[in-house]
Each structure stands twice: as C-alpha cells, then as structure tokens.
Amino acid sequence: MQDVAERVGVSRALVSLVFRNQPGAGEATRLRVLRAADELGYRPDSAARLLARGRSRTIGVMLTLHQPFEADIVEGVYPEAERLGYDVLLSASAPGRDERKAVEALLSHRCEALILLGSRASIGRLDELGRRGAVVVVGRTARGAHVDSVHTAESKGVGQVVSHLVALGHRDIAHVDGGRETGAAERRRAYRAAMRRHRLTEWIRVLPGAYDEESGSAAGRLLLAGERLPTAVFAGNDRSAMGLMHTLARAGVEVPGEVSVVGYDDNHLSHLSHIDLSTVRQDAVRLAEHAVRFVVERLADTALAPREAVLDPRLVVRGTSSPPAPDRPER
C-alpha cells in the first residue's frame, strides 16, 4: 500500500480507505489509486487482514498423496467452503512426511479448522487435536475423541458386495484386506459377517493388503500360487482392485470370466471404460459437504458434543463382476 500511495502522491491511510471501499476519497483519486495498484501488480492481502481481526477463515485439509478418492473429496470441499466464506489450505502426508507433520503444517499456517482425510491417528491424538480447535475426520469413526466424524456405512456397502456376488452364484469369495488403512478394519469385519450371514463361513479367506495397486498385485500373486483361485474377490479399495486385475490379466486369468473383482470407493478412475470396475460408491461430494459444515458449525459453537454423520453407500455394478463360469479351467 505504501508503494501505491507513493505512486499516486497520497497517504497510505487514504489508499487503505480506497481498498476497503470506505468513504474519504474522491472519485478521481479512487480511480488513480486503483490504476496505480493495477500497474504495480498489487493485490490486497486478505489473509493478513483477517488475521488482524483474529480470524484466518481458512480450513486446513490433510490428505494422502496418490489416493484418487481423497482427491475427489477435496474437489467437493472447495465449493462448500467458498459458499460459507472460507478458504482451503492443503497439506499432504507422504513417504518421509508423516501425518503429524502434515497436520502441524496446517496449524502453523493458522488454519481455524481441520478436515483429516485418511487419518490413522490414535483416538488420543485426535482428542488432543480436537481440544485445540475444530476437527473432523472423514472415512472413519472417532468415538472417544472430541472431534466430529463423517463416513460411509461400511457394513452396508460390504454387505451389498457379498450379496451381489452370492446372487450371481459365487461362494468362493476372497477379500484383499486394507491393513491399517482408514475403514479397513470395518470392511474386514463386515466381509466376515456377510459371509457368515450367507452360510459361507468355510469359504472365508482374507489376504493381507493395503489401499494401493502393489498390495492388490501381491494378493494376486498369492492367489495364483495357491491351490485354487476364488471365483470372486472383494478388494479393500479400488486401487487394490486395479492392481489385482493387472496381475490376473498378466497371468492370463480373465476378469470376470474366471474371477470377478469388486472394489470400494468408486473413485474417478473406476469409471474408465478399460477398467469398468464394479465397486461400492461413496459419495465424495456429500462427505465433503458434511465435513465442511461440521467444522464451520463447531467454530460457531465450540460447546457442541462430538457428532457423527454416516452416509449410505451404493453398489455400482459394472463389467468386472458376472456369474462364475461353470467350466472354469483348473489352475
């Protein structure tokens, strides 16, 4: 502002009045100030102005790199935050940069609230963060911590998968586990429960995994090395399902001709015609909208008790699931 004031030959205070659209400057002077600001490339620092009032009006979002579904959620965060008058700042966890560092970076930039995607933090750690400010975790429960949570009803989604495969005629249905990833424990429990519900307890088979392509590929190699291939596999998420399908294809196993595959998330890659993955759809936009509203409401009323929003999932049937082949070749 001082540079603009010197260019025009007025006081810095007068420039401030013009930028804030306050009375005190004539029309000719106002136009000269705005023209000088444009020539100098000046942009008002809205963040500094808000901080001067004791607010940043910024929501920090922690996400995991290389998770397409989390990117889908972030796309939904931006318009809802903007609608409510908030900016968004992103910080990613990645190899060499753990979740704690990603979160502390957001706090150091004075984010008023946090939305945590794919968080593996303990309940104690989440409670600590919740005592420091408004926090919502997306994709998992957080009971016992002073934070809000938004997630999909995992048991319903997994139940839909198993029921779909059983209705097609499958019994030998394996599950590629998600390990310590967000929601993995719930999906694993739901798979076991659904198999028992359909009286398929003897067919329960859980393979170790994670939410990435390599874990799906590793699970595929384990299956190929075993005595029998299952007729269907439910993967912990879409990325794992894609890795599994890649390994099966390289071994000459047809999907879904010999093995049906179903994922979880319905990220934007699953829709592609050459993937065409049957999967459980989590509504990324609605998850994002709930998360933003929760933190904004908590900023307005810090005394709110922790809340939990549970959204219904929906099975999307595409080209990777079909009835088992009656004459499937032995492997």
Give the pLDDT score at 1.
82
CA 154 – CA 143 distance, rounded (Å): 16
| Range in 34-38, 60-64, 136-140 with the lowest mean pLDDT | 34-38
Is the pLDDT at 217 greater than 90? The verdict is: yes
CA 177 to chain centre: 18
- Give me the chain's average pLDDT, please: 91
| pLDDT value of residue 12 | 87
* Pick from 44-58, 120-134, 197-211, 233-247: least confident: 44-58
Tell me the HSE value of 70 on the side-chain side, using a 13 A CA sphere.
Answer: 23
Closest residue by Cα to residue 130 from 158, 90, 103 = 103
Neighbours of 305 (CB within 10 A): 6
Q: Is 48 exposed, middle or buried, given 0-12, 13-18 or 19+ CB atoms closer than 10 A?
A: exposed
Tell me what pLDDT residue 20 has: 72
pLDDT at position 113: 94
pLDDT at 13: 85
Is the CB of residue 184 less than 8 Å from the CB of residue 235? no
What's residue 27's pLDDT? Answer: 87
* HEC string for 243-286: HHHHHHHHCCCCCCCCCEEEEEECCCCCCCCCCCCEEEECCHHH
Residue 93 is classified by DSSP as E
Cα-based angle 186, 116, 63 (whole degrees, multiple of 5): 100
**94 has which bridge partners?**
97
Q: Mean pLDDT, to the nearest integer, of 30-40?
A: 86
| 67, pLDDT greater than 90 | no
Of 127, 185, 186, nearest to 153 (Cα)?
A: 186
Percentage above 90 pLDDT, the chain:
70
Give the angle subtended at the CA of 158 by the CAs of 155 and 162, to the nearest 5°: 130
pLDDT-derived band of residue 47, with 50, 70 and 90 as boundaries? low
Question: Across-strand partners of 263?
Answer: 279
- Tens of pLDDT along 139-193? 999 999 999 999 999 999 999 999 999 999 999 999 999 998 989 999 999 999 9
Cα end-to-end distance, the chain, whole Å:
75
* Stretch 221-235: mean pLDDT: 95
Q: Is the separation of the CB atoms in 59 and 81 below 8 Å?
A: yes
pLDDT of residue 130: 92
- Residue type (1 letter), 188: R
**pTM (predicted TM-score):** 0.79
Longest dimension (CA), the chain: 88
- Residue range 292-317, pLDDT digits in tens: 999 999 999 988 999 999 999 999 99
pLDDT tens-place string over residues 120-134: 999 999 999 999 889
